[in-house]
Structure 1
Amino acid sequence: MINFFKEIISSIKEGIEEGKQELAEEKKLENAKSNLKEDSISNLPYRESFGTALGAPFRVVNFGDWFTLFKSLEDSTDEYYPIHLYSFGNYPKLEEHKKDFIKKLKIDFGIVDTDSCLKVLSSFFDLLSISKQNTLLENIKGASIEIPFKELSSTKYPAVITCILSHIITASTDGGYLEKEKALNLLDLIIPFIKQHHNNWDEYASSFFQGQSEIKLNNSAGNSVLKKYIGYLTSKKGSPWNNINWQE
Structure 2
Amino acid sequence: MFKFIKELIESFKEGIEEGKAELKAEEQAEYEAVEGLISKFKEQGKPTLENLSLALSCPFRSVLTSGEPIRLMEFGQLNEKGVKSLRKLLKRDFGIKDATDVSNVLEELEDAHAEEHNLARSVFLSGLNLYVLTSSVDVGYIAFEEIEELCREEISFISSHVDSWQQFGELFMEGECINNTVGRLFLKKNMQLLLKEETSPWCIFSWESISNVLDAES
Q: Cα distance 1:171–1:34, how it changes in 2: closer, same or farther (>3 A)?
A: farther
Partner residue, 1:60: 62
Partner residue, 1:105: 90
User: Over residues 201-240 of structure 1, what are the superposed CA-to-partner deviations in whole Å (9 max), with x where a residue is unaligned?
Assistant: 111000011221xx3x222222222211111011111111
Shift of 1:122: 2.2
Write out the 4+ residue segments of structure 1 that deviate beyond 4 Å after TM superposition.
Answer: 24-30, 32-36
Q: CA RMSD in A?
A: 2.7
Partner residue, 2:51: 49
Q: Hey, what's the Cα distance between the residues in 2 that align with 1:27 and 1:119?
A: 45
Q: Hey, what's the Cα distance between the residues in 1 that align with 2:134 and 2:105?
A: 14
Q: Is the CA contact 2:58–2:72 (under 8 Å) kept in the aligned structure 1? A: yes
Partner residue, 1:87: 74
Q: Select the structure that is richer in helix.
A: 2
The match for 1:172 among 133, 136, 158 is 136
Shift of 1:99: 0.4
Q: Is the CA contact 2:37–2:199 (under 8 Å) kept in the aligned structure 1? A: no
Q: Is the CA contact 1:52–1:167 (under 8 Å) kept in the aligned structure 2? A: yes
Q: Cα distance 1:36–1:219, how it changes in 2: closer, same or farther (>3 A)?
A: farther
The match for 1:239 among 195, 200, 204 is 200
User: Over residues 66-99 of structure 1, what are the superposed CA-to-partner deviations in whole Å (9 max), with x where a residue is unaligned?
Assistant: 6xxxxxxxxxxxxxxx1111122x23x4433110
The match for 2:116 among 153, 161, 170 is 153
Partner residue, 1:7: none
Q: Hey, what's the Cα distance between the residues in 2 that align with 1:95 and 1:188?
A: 28
Of structures 1 and 2, the one scoring higher in RCO (CA 8 A, sep 6+) is 1
Shift of 1:124: 1.8
User: Over residues 115-171 of structure 1, what are the superposed CA-to-partner deviations in whole Å (9 max), with x where a residue is unaligned?
Assistant: 010111122223334xxxxxxxxxxxxxxxxxxxxxx83333122111111110111
Listed as ranges, the gaps of 5+ residues in structure 1 are: 1-23, 67-81, 130-151
The match for 1:202 among 152, 166, 170 is 166
Kindly provide the amino acid, as one letter, of the partner of residue 87 in structure 1: E
Q: Is the CA contact 1:94–1:174 (under 8 Å) kept in the aligned structure 2? A: no
Q: Is the CA contact 2:51–2:74 (under 8 Å) kept in the aligned structure 1? A: yes
Instruction: Tell me whether 1:230 sits opposite 2:215 in the alignment.
Output: no
Structure 2 length as normaliser, TM-score? 0.73
Q: Is the CA contact 2:38–2:204 (under 8 Å) kept in the aligned structure 1? A: no
Instruction: Tell me whether 1:117 sits opposite 2:133 in the alignment.
Output: no
Structure 1 length as normaliser, TM-score? 0.65
Q: Hey, what's the Cα distance between the residues in 2 that align with 1:65 and 1:116?
A: 26
Listed as ranges, the gaps of 5+ residues in structure 2 are: 1-21, 213-218
Instruction: Tell me whether 1:126 sits opposite 2:111 in the alignment.
Output: yes
Q: Cα distance 1:95–1:86, how it changes in 2: closer, same or farther (>3 A)?
A: same
Give the number of the structure whose alpha-carbon radius of gyration is greater.
Answer: 2
